[in-house]
Structure formats: C-alpha cells, structure tokens
Chains A and B, each alone.
Chain A
Amino acid sequence: MLVMILPLAVQAQKQEDIFRAAGSPHNPKVQIAFNKYYTAEGLAALSKKIADAYPNLVKRQSIGKSTEGRDIWMLAITNYKVGDADRKPGFYIDGNIHSNEIQGGEISTYTAWYLTENFEDIDYITDMLNERVFYIVPTINPDARNNYMKEANTGSSPRAGMIALDDDRDGLFDEDGLEDLDGDGSVTRMRRKNPNGNMIVDPKDPRMMIEIGPDDVVTGQRYEFLGSEGIDNDGDGLVNEDRPGYYDPNRDWGWKWQPDYVQRGAYKYPFSAPETRAVADFVLSHPNIAGAQSYHNSGGMILRGPGAEEDLSTYNRADIAIYDAIGKKGEEMMPGYRYMVVYKDLYSVFGGELDWFYGGRGIYTFTNEIFSSFAYYKTKERDRNQMYKFEKDLLMGDAFSEWKPYDHPTYGEIEIGGFRKNIGRATPGFMLEEELHRNMAFTFYHAHHMPRLTISDVKEKKLNGGLTEITAYINNDRMMPTHASQDLKYNISRPDYISINGAKVISGMLVNNEDFGVTTEQVNTPEKIKVANIPGNNVTKVRWIIKGSSWNTITVDSEKGGMANYSKK
C-alpha cells in the first residue's frame, strides 16, 4: 500500500505551490531524491524511468554483462530529431569503476536527469543536445557496487570487481574475506585491552583513540588495534588476507598495460575483466567520442594523465594546453578540487582508464576524485579530528558505531567500533546534490569545448577557360581540434573529409595561406579533400577548381568533429 500512496503524495504537490530555484529543473517529470545512494538495480531503475519519460532524447542500452551477469546500462542522450546521433561529437561519462567509489553512479544519473529535464527549457542544454551526444554509464561495476553496499565492507572495500582471485597464491580463491562481526552493516575496527598497547581512549571523546608517545605517562587503560573486523577463515594464521577480487579494474586498460608484478592490480591482459571490455568495445565502435570523464572518490581531484612516469612523452604541449584550460576551469567550478597530473601528483600507475582513452583513442579525458575533507567545513585548513566533529555536529552521530565488546575466536575479548563505511569517502547526503551538480557542470564545460564544425562561408571566383574556383571556410569555434595531437601522431582517427558534390572537379587543394595563394594539391579524389586535422578556434580552408560553375553541396565529415553541410545558394 505504501508504494501506491507515495507517488500520489508527490503528485499532490501542486505546481503553483512551488517557487523555482535557479539552476534546478523546476518541474521534473521524473522525481529522484539526490540525497541518497542507489544500488546497481536502483540505478538501473532510475535510468529506465528517465529513458521512458524522454524517448526522443534517451536511448537506453546494455553495453555488456558484468561478471555476475548484470547488464551494464548506458544512456545515449541527444536530440534524436536533429542529425544522426552517433555522428555528433560524443561525450562519454562513467562512474564507479572502483566498487566503493560510488558517487559516479549518482553524478551520471543526475547528469542524465538534468539534461532531459532542462531540454528546451535552458538554451545551453538544448544546444548541447542538438549538437552533441552523451553516452552515460552510471556504473561500470554493478556487481561490486552492490557488494560494497550490501556485504561486509569498510569504506575502502571492495575496490575490485567480483572475479575470484587467489591473492595469497595458496591455491584457494577469496577464502578469507572481511566479516561484519557486530552486525552493524559495516566493517569497522577491532581493538583489545592490552597493558602494553600503544593506544588509549581519548578522555574527552570516547569514540577517539590517541596514540601514546614515548614519554607519556599513562594511567588509563591501554589498547592495541587488531585491524579490520574479521576472522582467520582458512586457518593460515592471517586475517582477511584473500578478499573478494583482488584485481583493480582501473589497471586493466590497454594503454601501456603492465602485468601484476609491475603494476599491482592488473588482471590477465588488457580488458580481461568483462566490464572494462564492454566499455572498450563500446568506445572502439563509437569513434565520435571526443571527450570523456570518469568518476572516482576521493580527495577532490581533477586528474589527467599520464598515469605512468614512463609515459610522459605521450602528452605534448598542444594537448596539455587544452587539458590545462579545462582543468583550471574545474578548480573554479568545484571549490576544494585541485587539477592534478596522475603520475606526479598522485602515483605513477599503468593501465588506467584515462590513459587508454587518451593514449589509445586520442580522447581528452579527466578522472575526478569526488569529495574531500574540504567539504566538512568548507576550508582548506585541515583538522585531524574534523571528521569526528562533523559526524557529531552535522550528522548527529549517524555515522559512527560505538565501541562494543565482542568475543573473537582468535583474539578473545575484544571491542569493535569505528566509522561506518558510508562516511569518509562517500559524500554525506545533505551535501550530495551540490557535489553532483558541480561535477556535472564541469563535464558540460568539457563537452562544450569538443570540436564544433560549420561551413561558415563559400566563395566563388570565375577563372579563365570556363573554370570556377570554389573556396570553403570550415570553422571550428571550440577549443578542441578534431584530432588531439596524440591522434594526429598515430592516425588513430581517420582524416576529416571535405567534399564537394554535384561538380565537375578538375583539382582540389588545401589552402595553407589564402593571402599568398599557397596551397597543397590533392591529386587523387580531388572532390574529397582529406584534411589531417581541423584545429580548435580556427578556420580551415579548402579549394576546388571546377569546370563550369555548378555544384550542389559541400560537406564536412569528421569522426570526432561531426558533420556539417553547406548548400549552394
């Protein structure tokens, strides 16, 4: 009955009783609460609602199956009434590659919701969906998202997908994982009274433990920490040493991939996990993708490659300038976030998603690490204890399990307690919508600057002998070129084609310098000029010499830059 009553209650809210808040869809068809997190099935249901509500804007498709057989749902969002969807410059978004880094699922969903609910309401969004297509995959790791939410975990586990691996190389697979011994829904910490322990309880806050210094005179009860909640399941004298996984889906991508002994976390070979393979196959079959974003947590970072120091030469100055422009805009848009380079500001790592997107496909790609301690008190001044303060003063004590006694099979009388898994990395509910919105706005800025091609002008000039010279001006009025320099270096995307139709073409050429008449002739197929690149914020010029003066259309056909047409007036 409750299920029946709830939607009625929502509908009962009359439109005239609502005052529009700037920047948010004021009368959404699809009602979604963005102060909570959703399981894989929850996200799948939301994406279906959005797709059902906006059939002309959303096509929902499974791009593959996860290890446990779940669909990996993708929303392709554009105005399907204008142009050919898969020929528009594409922007790819995914979340949750790391199981416990969940916000990407909600940012993706929020982005899909915001785009559809604001179409034809906000011009910026309408233009965006007329000119671009968004491919949004809220979770590329649905199995382990659920494992994180439903099974015994800390805020940092699991990171891997659900393929069982033998972490301790003893011949058994995932035989010794974490346990939620006290049944509070989270794996917290174990401590034990020990007269020689190095910790005491903070006399001012019983949640907190203080480390004893060498000169401290301690009169209170001493404790020792015994690690995360769990037992020695396989009797090998180690606790929790072979957990679900472990491999890291973000070490599974096919750019300069390295095996596990070089790059901890790599699985068998590039794209050996079904989820990353599904994304790779999707991207390989969508050469129109020109920009991409993946969402992780945490730390408040806007990351670009290279991931590995050894790969430094892949990123050159022209592309870095574009990354810098977008990344620095991101720092403004997302207070507390810093624009960083993975290999030098985080760690040097092979096989990451953003490296394959850029190195392997020439797609400008960022990874955002959502949420940082900046958010607690909106200040960069860090206080070691601010999470305790915040948990008490702003979450009213909702995120900490008080220390309670427990009888452990190996350790005997212990106590279990600590922060639950939904604090520390996952954004607390009341701040979530803002975080989703700011990250989405950042991707819009990025998507806005994908190449946008128009034929801005065509000039005709009569030549002797009944010939006509036709010069076409192809304008790219956004920051990104049709080919990133990595793309140009290796011809990842084919050249852009600029063609004239309905003309008897004698000769075709690229105009290098219009004023001085410097051109480069293309002898073969002169009616279809192949241009290696159409740079950003620039005009590219091509010229044909035709017999007579008749022609019909000029078309531009670029894999990443999309299509443009011009008809003879």
Chain B
Amino acid sequence: MFKTNSFIPKSFWVLLFFCSAVSFGQSNYRNFNEQTNALKRLQSNHPEAKLQSLTKTVGGYDIWALTLSSGDPQDHPAIAIVGGIDGSLLLSTEMAITMAEDILKNHSEVLENTTFYIFPNMSPNASEQYFKDLKYEHKGNAKSTDDDRDGAFDEDPFEDLNKDGLITLIRVEDVTGDYVKSKEDDRIMVKADAADGELGNYKVFSEGIDNDKDGKYNEDGPGGIMFNKNFSFNFPYFKPGAGEHPVSEKEHRALLDFLYQQWNLYAIISLGPENNLSSPLKFNREGASKRVVTSILKNDAKLNAYVSKQYNKINTAKDAPSAMAKGGGFFEWSYFHFGRLALSTPGWWPAKFKGDSTVKAHKNVKANYLQFANQNDLSNVFVDWTKIDHPDFPNKTVEVGGISPFVMQNPSYDKVAELSKTHTDFILEVAKLQPNISIENIAIEGVNNELTRITVDVHNNGFLPTHTDMGKRSRWLRKIKIELSLNKNQTLISGKKIDLIDAIDGDSSKQFTWLVQGSGNVTLKAGTSHTGTDSKTITLK
C-alpha cells in the first residue's frame, strides 16, 4: 500500500499505519485478529513493551499479556489492567489496548516507577460474537456445557427469527403471560405490576425456538463458561456459565498463575461490569467479621473512597449504574482472595436522560435509554416489533423486537479515544499513590568507642499503605523485610539481622535501631517487591 522510500525507516510506515488504523481510521471495534495485530505493533515499536501469550483457550484464542516496564518488570511495584472480563463489554478491550499505547507514547516516564501488566481480552471467544453474522451478547468461552443440566449439551441455541442478524426478544400475546407493554414506552416489555392493578397479557422470551421442547427458550446455546463467573469468591455452583468448579478454565488458571508470580503487584484495575470507582464499596461490620469475609475491610473502604473521589474528578460521567457480580467475579477475587487494591469500572455507561419541560424522564432503565438514544440521534438501537410465524405458537400473535445487543454496554466507537484517555489519566493518578519504601533519617552514633548505634526510619512515601488490610492477611503479599548485612569482623550486639514487618501505613514510618561492634561498612536494605526496596551503605564509627 505504501511506497517505501529508502531513507524512511520501515518502522515509520508501521507507525503511520498504526496511528491511522487505531486513532483516526478505525470506525468500529476491533476483532480479535486486529487486537492481536495492535498488540504486536506495540511490542515491535516500544522496547518497554513485551507481549506474551499466557495460554490458548479451548476456542483457540491466545490470552495476551502485555508487560510495560522500564528494565526488569519485577523491579517496580505494578498495576494490572484486565479487559474482556465480560465478553459483551467490547469497550474494555479497546480501552486496555489504547491505554497501553497512550502510556507508551505519552507517559513512558511512569514506567521508571511502575510496571503495568495488561490483559486486554480475557473473553476472546465471547467478544468475537459481535463480529459474527449473528450478533448476541455472548459471555461464555468455547467449552461445550450443559447449561440447563438436563444431560444434553448446547441443544437449545438462539435463532434469528426475523433474519436481521441480531438476537433480541419475542413477545407472544397470551392472557396467561405475566408481561405488559410499559406505560412509559410501549416498545419496552415489563412484568405486570400487581400492586398497580395490571394484568399480564404477553409472554416474553429471547429470540428463538424451544429446540428441546422443555418449555425454556435458548437456555443451552453453544458454550460456554463465563470468565466473570468462574472465580472462587462466592462461586455460583451449578449456575449456567459458572463451570463445574471455580477456576476450571485454561484462561482463568493461566491468568491467576501469572498474577500469583508477580509479587510486585499492588493494584488490579478491572475493566468490567462491576463499579467501585463511581461509588466506593461500603464497609459492613457483620460481613467483615465473619470467617468467610463478605465486606470490604474498614481501612480498605476508606482507601476505596479516596480513590473513588479521584476517579470522579477525572471521569465526570454521572449516574453510573451500580453492579456487583452475582458470584464468581474477577473483581471480587482480586480483593477478597488476592488482597490487592482492587478497582473496577465498566468505563462507560449510557448517560441518563434527565427530562425537560416537555418530556418527562422515564424511570425504566431501558425506556430511559431509548430517550437518551433519541436525544443523541443514535440509530439502530431498537429493532421494531414485527410479526412472525413461530412454530411453537401456531395460532398466536408473535412479534420479534427489542433493544439491539451491545448498544447499552458499549458506546459508539468514536467515544473510545476520549474514554481511554480519561482512564489513562486516572491510572496515572493511581500510580502516583503507590507505596514507596525508603530509608530516612539515618543516625550513626559511636557508643563508648567500641560500638556503633544505627537508627533509621523506614518510611512509606506513598499515599497508599504498603498492604491493604486484606493484603496483610494474605500470604500472597510479602512482608516488608529490613535486613542488615554484616561482614565477618562485625558483630550484631542488639537489634535483628532480619526483621519482617506486616505493613507501614501511607506517609508513615517505623523506626529501627541496631548496635554493631566492628568497623567498616554495613549494608541496610528495606522494602519488598510491591513497595520498592531501598538500600543504604552505612559506615560504622
């Protein structure tokens, strides 16, 4: 496509192609191959970027891990960024890749202090459904599962009854049904409100037929196990998409095996459906004091509140829906089972239609979304109800219609660049907060000409404590090690050669003192993988 001039390095063209493809030319979400190409280009253009495949999923997709670091990644405290936690959140993968690019191009100085481990797409099989001829919000991997646990596998998939390439809903006129058209917007189907004297007159199902004649519609389609339902915190046993036991899938094991080896990790940012950034998790005393802890711990709730405040300064979008996983979620794992500073955001949500003097805002989320779409001239967000012949309902009025898949979870592609920049800015703020151990106020006193007394403050210069309260409990965060190394002619009279301490709060210190006999230099080292390590050489008096 490009004519290569001999004096222009090839990488220039690669770069130009990259910029045009990603920042300017791209008009729609990138499929898995395009994601892979973008990641490979980042690696070839930036020495700070290293791309590796953690595993290949059952569906044959690589699970990519992109490490951004200056020098040895383990030398700096690290943040992990995880996208594709929910396969229908296409934005998350785009953001993860674009943020990586932004850091490498515009903020590479942060890599002098912080390492980033970026996993752009943990649900490649699911997200590819967006690029297929038949679009529906798929969340599972490619493993064949018996979602309804009836002994048959994948026997009742969706069917595109109106041949529009989208899976929406069917509604069947039937007095035994318990749905009605919403009073706010008659395109939206809602459960009849008995308290309001409503009587149901529709049945509503997802678009398809009852292939296995069990009375349920599309309850066991192809695949699979959902990434965000297969983790060990509050695992939803025997629920569709959960898997037979926690962490049963290759991509789950590969990610966790990798994370468990990165002792420098102090924060995990999930780009997923859960959101503890727009509004922080609340401390619950009862949940926090049980053996199986179900509430964020008290001090961690304070941290969450502070970080959330920073997030809302940078991302000014309001009215974020609150959403917590119904068990087996990755975000919950990253806090409750991994003890890291755990942050999660979907990155985007449809703005709420507020209403004005002529139009009242609808309360129903979907009806409100349609008002928002109307206000913003969004097209193709709703498939108008049209009559079809349905084999399961031979003499009834059946219509297909509803909100298009993906549109409520993902913004139009032109919003991606700005959203990515906002979130890069936020992550750079998180990096500024990171724990940072240094040795300060070194005092060296001669005692009676024979001994030297060394006194230092081991200081955490970061805003964040070295360990979350949960992290203090976890064996997967190292303690802070203070080690005084002596040579053969030096003797420790008082103090510990090796001291392990649980944690140091943000902007706080702990004092240590030693009495040493002998002369020459001793070396003092303090810190651990996720806090940074400081080392000082001290000359004995």
Which residues does A use to contact B, with CB under 8 Å?
Answer: 165-171, 234-237, 254-255, 257-262, 268-272, 280, 284, 310, 356, 360, 490-492, 494-495, 497, 523-524, 530
Contact A166 B475 (CB under 8 A): yes
Chain A: CB-nearest residue to B477:
A169
Complex: A271 Cα to B473 Cα, angstroms = 22
**What are 17 inter-chain pairs, A to B, with CB distance below 8 A?**
A165-B475, A167-B475, A169-B475, A169-B478, A169-B500, A170-B479, A171-B528, A235-B498, A254-B248, A258-B232, A259-B232, A261-B339, A261-B474, A269-B232, A270-B247, A271-B248, A491-B150
Distance between A399 CB and nearest chain B CB, rounded to angstroms: 35
Contact A258 B292 (CB under 8 A): yes
Chain B residues contacting A237 (CB-CB under 8 Å) are: 496-498
Chain A residues contacting B149 (CB-CB under 8 Å) are: 490-492, 494
Chain A residues contacting B238 (CB-CB under 8 Å) are: 490-492
Contact A310 B245 (CB under 8 A): no
Contact B244 A235 (CB under 8 A): no
Distance between B203 CB and nearest chain A CB, rounded to angstroms: 19
Distance between B519 CB and nearest chain A CB, rounded to angstroms: 21
Q: Name the one of B214, B473, B478 contacting A166, with C-beta atoms under 8 angstroms.
A: B478
Which residues does B use to contact A, with CB under 8 Å?
Answer: 146, 149-151, 212-214, 232, 235, 237-238, 244-248, 252-253, 256-257, 260, 263, 291-293, 336-337, 339, 470, 473-479, 481, 496-498, 500, 528-529
Contact B245 A356 (CB under 8 A): yes
Distance between A281 CB and nearest chain B CB, rounded to angstroms: 10
Contact B246 A262 (CB under 8 A): no
Complex: A500 Cα to B24 Cα, angstroms = 65
Complex: A237 Cα to B151 Cα, angstroms = 59
Contact A254 B478, CB 8 Å, known A168-B500, A235-B497, A494-B151: no
Chain B: CB-nearest residue to A259:
B337
Distance between A46 CB and nearest chain B CB, rounded to angstroms: 32
Complex: A262 Cα to B408 Cα, angstroms = 38
Q: Name the one of A168, A259, A261, A494 contacting B150, with C-beta atoms under 8 angstroms.
A: A494
Distance between B63 CB and nearest chain A CB, rounded to angstroms: 16
Contact B474 A260 (CB under 8 A): yes
Max chain B CB contacts within 10 Å: which of A168, A169, A258?
Answer: A169
Complex: A234 Cα to B245 Cα, angstroms = 39
Contact B247 A262 (CB under 8 A): no
Chain B residues contacting A269 (CB-CB under 8 Å) are: 232, 246-247, 252-253, 256, 337
Complex: A261 Cα to B247 Cα, angstroms = 18
Q: Name the one of A170, A260, A492, A494 contacting B500, with C-beta atoms under 8 angstroms.
A: A170
Chain A: CB-nearest residue to B148:
A491
Complex: A235 Cα to B481 Cα, angstroms = 13
Contact B245 A270 (CB under 8 A): yes
Contact A236 B150 (CB under 8 A): no
Q: A236-B500, A271-B245, A491-B150 are in contact. List 17 more A-B contacts (CB 8 A).
A: A168-B479, A171-B481, A171-B529, A236-B496, A236-B497, A236-B498, A237-B496, A254-B248, A257-B232, A259-B232, A261-B475, A262-B293, A268-B260, A271-B248, A490-B237, A490-B238, A524-B213
Q: Name the one of B150, B336, B337, B479 contacting A169, with C-beta atoms under 8 angstroms.
A: B479
Contact A271 B481, CB 8 Å, known A237-B497, A310-B291: no
Chain B residues contacting A356 (CB-CB under 8 Å) are: 245
Contact A310 B292 (CB under 8 A): yes
Contact B245 A262 (CB under 8 A): no
Distance between B312 CB and nearest chain A CB, rounded to angstroms: 31
Complex: A165 Cα to B261 Cα, angstroms = 11
Distance between A248 CB and nearest chain B CB, rounded to angstroms: 12
Contact B232 A270 (CB under 8 A): yes
Chain A residues contacting B291 (CB-CB under 8 Å) are: 262, 310
Complex: A254 Cα to B243 Cα, angstroms = 11
Contact B213 A523 (CB under 8 A): yes
Q: Name the one of A167, A170, A255, A497 contacting B498, with C-beta atoms under 8 angstroms.
A: A170
Contact A284 B244, CB 8 Å, known A234-B498, A490-B149, A490-B238: yes
Q: Kindly list the 5 A-B residue pairs having the minimum CB-CB distance in the complex, ordered from nearest.
A: A494-B151, A254-B245, A261-B473, A491-B149, A269-B247
Max chain B CB contacts within 10 Å: which of A259, A270, A271, A524?
Answer: A259
Distance between A288 CB and nearest chain B CB, rounded to angstroms: 14
Chain A: CB-nearest residue to B473:
A261
Contact A170 B247 (CB under 8 A): no
Chain A: CB-nearest residue to B151:
A494
Contact A270 B246, CB 8 Å, known A170-B478, A260-B475, A262-B291: yes
Chain B residues contacting A168 (CB-CB under 8 Å) are: 479, 500
Complex: A461 Cα to B452 Cα, angstroms = 105
Chain A residues contacting B478 (CB-CB under 8 Å) are: 166, 169-171
Complex: A271 Cα to B256 Cα, angstroms = 12
Distance between A251 CB and nearest chain B CB, rounded to angstroms: 12
Complex: A234 Cα to B336 Cα, angstroms = 32
Chain B: CB-nearest residue to A559:
B151
Complex: A167 Cα to B500 Cα, angstroms = 12
Chain A residues contacting B248 (CB-CB under 8 Å) are: 254, 271
Distance between A312 CB and nearest chain B CB, rounded to angstroms: 13
Complex: A512 Cα to B339 Cα, angstroms = 53
Chain A residues contacting B500 (CB-CB under 8 Å) are: 168-170, 236
Distance between A486 CB and nearest chain B CB, rounded to angstroms: 10
Contact A271 B293 (CB under 8 A): no
Contact B150 A495 (CB under 8 A): yes
Complex: A169 Cα to B213 Cα, angstroms = 57
Contact B292 A262 (CB under 8 A): yes
Complex: A484 Cα to B253 Cα, angstroms = 30
Max chain A CB contacts within 10 Å: which of B244, B339, B496?
Answer: B244
Chain B: CB-nearest residue to A258:
B292
Distance between A533 CB and nearest chain B CB, rounded to angstroms: 13
Chain A residues contacting B151 (CB-CB under 8 Å) are: 494-495, 497, 530
Chain B residues contacting A497 (CB-CB under 8 Å) are: 151
Chain B residues contacting A270 (CB-CB under 8 Å) are: 232, 245-247
Complex: A271 Cα to B244 Cα, angstroms = 12
Complex: A270 Cα to B529 Cα, angstroms = 26
Complex: A517 Cα to B39 Cα, angstroms = 68
Chain B: CB-nearest residue to A246:
B475
Distance between A183 CB and nearest chain B CB, rounded to angstroms: 29
Distance between B217 CB and nearest chain A CB, rounded to angstroms: 15
Contact A170 B474 (CB under 8 A): no
Distance between B481 CB and nearest chain A CB, rounded to angstroms: 6
Chain A residues contacting B246 (CB-CB under 8 Å) are: 254, 257, 269-270
Complex: A495 Cα to B214 Cα, angstroms = 14
Complex: A165 Cα to B260 Cα, angstroms = 11
